[in-house]
Amino acid sequence: MQYPRLVCRRMAEFVGMLLGDGSIGRYKCNSGDAGQREQYVVKFTISQDEESYAEYISDFFKELFDVEPTQYAKSNENALDIRCFKKELFEFITEEVGLRTSPKKDNAIIPERYMGGKLRKDVLRGYFDTDGSLVLADNNGYLYPRLEMKVARSPMQDQFIEIVEDLGFRFGAYELNEGKIRIQMNGKQQLEKWVGEIGFSNQRHLSKLEKV
């Protein structure tokens, strides 16, 4: 395994991705005659139909850490896990990068080093690509775009609001159940600003963008 530079745009995007559909965990599991042992995992859970984005995530593991993640399809949930069980990766992500272990509720936070300059844009793109939605509403035959991202009750709620506000987006933040919020940006002008400044890496969003 290799250790990438902490302050770089690819690492910032990976941080955003983990804050979205990622999971960082340490668990006790049975190990036969040896009794219980600890298992460490860094993983993403996405829809099975997001094959191109699954490869995109896998490429991040290879490029940043020189590790080959495994993929596990959950057929009963139409979900795909992309995961790595290396203790060294878990320790780097939690101790050096500064991300907290799951669950995200009341816990998740963007490490301060990724809150400035261009890095915050990469965090925002990584988060939106995994846990955001480009919604195309039918408005009398005209497709009206809406950018939405839900954020669990946690310190990162205020951080994402700070980022989109500082970047000059017009947005609303709406309370949902269990303390979640939805950050929402409406209209073609906001979408064009997003494409120009943030962009998408997930084909799920790019395919919808072609329809606008």
Q: Please check whether residues 28 and 58 belong to one and the same domain.
A: yes
Output DSSP code: residue 155. Answer: T
Residue 119 maps to a domain? no
CATH of the domain at 168: 3.10.28.10
Strand-by-strand arrangement of the 142-151 sheet = 132-139, 142-151, 181-186, 172-175
Q: Please check whether residues 95 and 132 belong to one and the same domain.
A: no
Q: Please check whether residues 17 and 99 belong to one and the same domain.
A: yes
pLDDT tens, residue by residue, 182-191: 999 999 999 9
Q: Please check whether residues 66 and 138 belong to one and the same domain.
A: no
Q: How high is the pLDDT of residue 32?
A: 59
Q: Please check whether residues 160 and 81 belong to one and the same domain.
A: no
Q: Please check whether residues 132 and 80 belong to one and the same domain.
A: no
Residue 38 maps to a domain? yes
Q: Which domain range does residue 167 map to? A: 124-209
Q: How high is the pLDDT of residue 182?
A: 97
Contacts of 28 (CB under 8 A, 6+ apart): 36, 37, 38, 39
Which residue from 45, 39, 41 is spatially nearest to 17, judged by alpha carbons?
45
Q: Please check whether residues 24 and 92 belong to one and the same domain.
A: yes
pLDDT tens, residue by residue, 48-78: 989 899 999 999 999 999 999 999 988 788 8
The pTM (predicted TM-score) of the whole model is 0.93
Q: How high is the pLDDT of residue 103?
A: 92
5 pLDDT tier (thresholds 50, 70, 90): very high
Q: Please check whether residues 129 and 191 belong to one and the same domain.
A: yes
* Centroid of chain to Cα 148: 14
pLDDT tens, residue by residue, 159-181: 999 999 999 999 999 999 999 99
102 with 15: CB under 8 angstroms? Answer: no
pLDDT tens, residue by residue, 107-152: 999 999 999 899 999 999 999 999 999 999 887 778 899 999 999 9
Domain count, the chain: 2
Q: Does 31 score more than 70 pLDDT?
A: no
Q: Mean pLDDT, to the nearest integer, of 21-46?
A: 83
Q: Please check whether residues 66 and 128 belong to one and the same domain.
A: no
